[in-house]
């Protein structure tokens, strides 16, 4: 009996051909992707600005990056004009001077979000702290230590629940003596707006550093994650660690960001506890929040700093939509479980790292 193997042979030939084509396609795809990534990397554009009382450094890649960054700069100037507490005629200035103002949609949305987070954090974030911040000189740089009595009087006008929003007319009303300041949230909101602009322009790879608030779009042009340093609050020239993230915000509030040393030799920093009007000293020296939305991360980094370790951990367990890194006065580095695979601790820190879940 003869077995006809010709069909089998031609089947094998087809199979080989198919395999060869497949390999060719894969090689083309890899090569094409490599070339695309190389092109992207070669089209880096940067913009540095002084805005919102700090330095912004914006970097985007790709053919639309330059146009996108120009739009970003215009938008930053627009937001600055609306949100500055000191610029005469800004939305915030008008609320503070006139107790009632019809404001731009940006201002309205941002205040709404800040009040919601004020509510969630039980007032740890309170945008009506402005009179107290001013008394300490944090808004002008003329630092002083206010008397207990002065703080007690100023605190009678601190209550975020006194801010009333009216959606139809976008009007914001506050009682006499109540003044707001969006310093804890404005940069995070601005970062969200800029990321949106870049995305709409077709940019797929960008990293924005808004005075230490880092917000990323996509991955690095070579497809690897962005690497964002978390400063060592005890020695700012060093890092406590490095985070690898894509499409995420990494926003830190630290006592070391803005502070002065009083005549008593004590350090007084710019994040205040709304309970007593004093710089918040609840065991933390730095809080980094990692999440998708800049405004929320910014608001929470300030609020968690005020809350201290135990309340911050309880809040994280209850909310669960962000990750965080807490650095305590004792040099402990506490991270939430979600960061385990994307955090690399700096020299001398490995021993201090604790994960919570």
Q: Which positions touch ligand ADP (CB under 6 A)?
A: 125-127, 129, 133, 138, 181, 183-184, 211-212, 253, 257-258, 270-272, 274, 298, 301-302, 306
Contacts from 195-200 at CB under 8 Å and sequence distance 24+? 195/294, 197/68, 197/71, 197/72, 197/75, 198/60, 198/65, 198/68, 198/69, 198/72
Q: Of Mg ion, ligand ADP, none, which one sits near residue 181, judging by CB under 5 to 8 A according to partner kind?
A: ligand ADP
Q: Which stretch binds Mg ion (CB under 5 A): 59-67, 180-188, 221-229, 346-354?
A: 180-188
At its nearest, how many Å lie between ligand ADP and the CB of residue 270? 4
Q: Which is nearer to Mg ion, 65 or 186 (CB)?
A: 186
At its nearest, how many Å lie between ligand ADP and the CB of residue 327? 14
CA–CA dist 90, 96 (Å, integer): 10
- Sorted by sequence, the CB contacts under 8 Å of residue 229 that are 6+ apart come out as 239, 241, 242, 243
Burial bucket for residue 204 (CB in 10 Å: 0-12, 13-18, 19+):
middle
Q: Which is nearer to ligand ADP, 107 or 253 (CB)?
A: 253
CA–CA dist 216, 57 (Å, integer): 12
Q: Which stretch binds Mg ion (CB under 5 A): 70-78, 142-150, 299-307, 336-344?
A: 299-307
Q: What share of the chain is helix, strand, coil (3-state, %, to 5)?
A: 40, 25, 35
Position 312 contacts Mg ion (CB under 5 A): no
At its nearest, how many Å lie between ligand ADP and the CB of residue 184? 3
Task: Provide the mask over 181-220, with x wherever binding to Mg ion is found by CB under 5 A and - wherever it is not.
Answer: ---x------------------------------------
């Amino acid at each position: 009996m003869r077995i006809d193997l010709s069909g089998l042979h031609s089947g094998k030939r087809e199979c080989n051909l198919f395999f060869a084509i497949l390999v060719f396609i894969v090689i083309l795809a890899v090569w094409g992707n490599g070339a695309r990534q190389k092109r992207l990397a070669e089209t880096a554009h940067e913009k540095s600005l002084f805005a919102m009382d700090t330095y912004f450094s914006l970097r985007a890649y790709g053919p639309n990056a330059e146009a996108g960054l120009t739009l970003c700069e215009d938008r930053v100037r627009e937001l600055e004009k609306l949100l500055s507490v000191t610029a005469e005629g800004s939305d915030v200035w008008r609320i503070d001077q006139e107790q009632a103002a019809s404001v731009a949609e940006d201002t309205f949305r941002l205040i709404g979000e800040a009040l919601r987070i004020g509510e969630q954090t039980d007032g740890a974030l309170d945008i009506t702290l402005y009179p107290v911040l001013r008394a300490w000189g944090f808004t002008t740089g003329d630092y002083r230590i206010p008397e207990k009595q002065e703080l007690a009087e100023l605190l009678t006008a601190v209550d975020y629940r006194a801010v009333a929003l009216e959606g139809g007319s976008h009007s914001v009303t506050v009682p006499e003596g109540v003044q707001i300041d969006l310093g804890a949230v404005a940069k995070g909101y601005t970062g969200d707006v800029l990321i949106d602009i870049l995305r709409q322009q077709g940019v797929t790879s960008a990293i924005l550093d808004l005075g230490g608030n880092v917000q990323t779009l996509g991955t690095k042009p070579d497809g690897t994650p962005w690497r964002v340093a978390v400063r060592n609050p005890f020695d700012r020239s060093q890092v406590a660690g490095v985070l690898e993230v894509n499409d995420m915000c990494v926003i830190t509030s630290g006592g070391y960001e803005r502070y002065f040393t009083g005549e008593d030799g004590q350090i007084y920093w710019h994040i205040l506890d709304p309970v007593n009007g004093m710089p918040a000293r609840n065991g933390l020296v730095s809080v980094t929040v990692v999440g998708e939305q800049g405004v929320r991360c910014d608001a929470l980094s300030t609020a968690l700093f005020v809350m201290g370790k135990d309340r911050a951990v309880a809040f994280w367990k209850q909310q669960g939509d962000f990750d965080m890194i807490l650095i305590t006065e004792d040099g402990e580095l506490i991270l939430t479980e979600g960061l385990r695979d994307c955090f690399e601790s700096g020299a001398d820190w490995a021993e201090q790292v604790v994960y919570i879940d």
